[in-house]
Amino acid sequence: MLHNIVPVIADQLNDYLKSEYNLTEDRVAVSNLVDIKGNPVPGIENKIAVFVLNIEEEKSVRNGHFQANPGMNPPVSVNLYLMFAANFTGENYLEALKFISSVISFFQGRNVFDHQNTPLLSTNIDKITAELVNIDLKELSNLWANLGAKYAPSVVYKLRMLNFNSFMEKEEVPTLLGLRGKVNLNKMIDEAIEGAALIDAANKE
């Protein structure tokens, strides 16, 4: 589920930025800023890097789940914290601020993701909501030290809630946006429409 929601939201943000600034190149990459050895990840310069910062259990609903099947564990509800970091080089600092501003604008305009406005959202998810997370200066300093990267203009959003259970449908891991080519969501949608049209034509014959 996590491997679906992160690239799907990143792709929508990427399309928003490209439309907003009339760009042809991708400006969002699903990636850490540094690799496991602490080296900068190549290929994400001058882009918004999107990565999972934390996964937290939503304990407020843990005891409220209805157990439809006695003897089975209730679903686990989690919140996902995503960081959006403007990984721009020094001379492009103002560009970093511009794109972070646009990230905030994107989520201000769309803070709920469901199957109507996000067709490729996992079938295991009904909807998720996004809210901006406030981080004080001390926490921010510790956070970037733990990340092992130099500070970059960034924002963190909390996505809630994702429900995990043993009956979830298995999903393929998509190609990561911005690293090995964009997830071709438009092609997938076009193929789905084409398939539906062929089925409709066959039914009319």
Q: Please provide the DSSP assignment of 97-111 as one string.
A: HHHHHHHHHHHHH--
Rounded Cα distance between 44 and 35, Å, is 12
Helix (H, G, I), strand (E, B) or coil at 174: coil
pLDDT of residue 121: 83
The parent domain of residue 92 ranges over 2-204
Helix (H, G, I), strand (E, B) or coil at 28: strand
Structure tokens at 97: 């601020």
pLDDT of residue 69: 55
The phi, psi pair for 123, rounded to 5°, reads -65, -10
Tell me, rounded to whole angstroms, the distance of Cα 29 from its chain centroid: 10
Rounded Cα distance between 147 and 56, Å, is 18
Mean pLDDT, 10 residues at a time, the chain of 205 residues = 86 95 95 92 94 87 54 78 93 95 97 90 85 95 94 95 62 50 45 47 50
Query: How many domains does the chain contain in total?
Result: 1
Task: For CA atoms 88, 15, 131, 128, give the dihedral sign.
Answer: negative
pLDDT of residue 167: 54
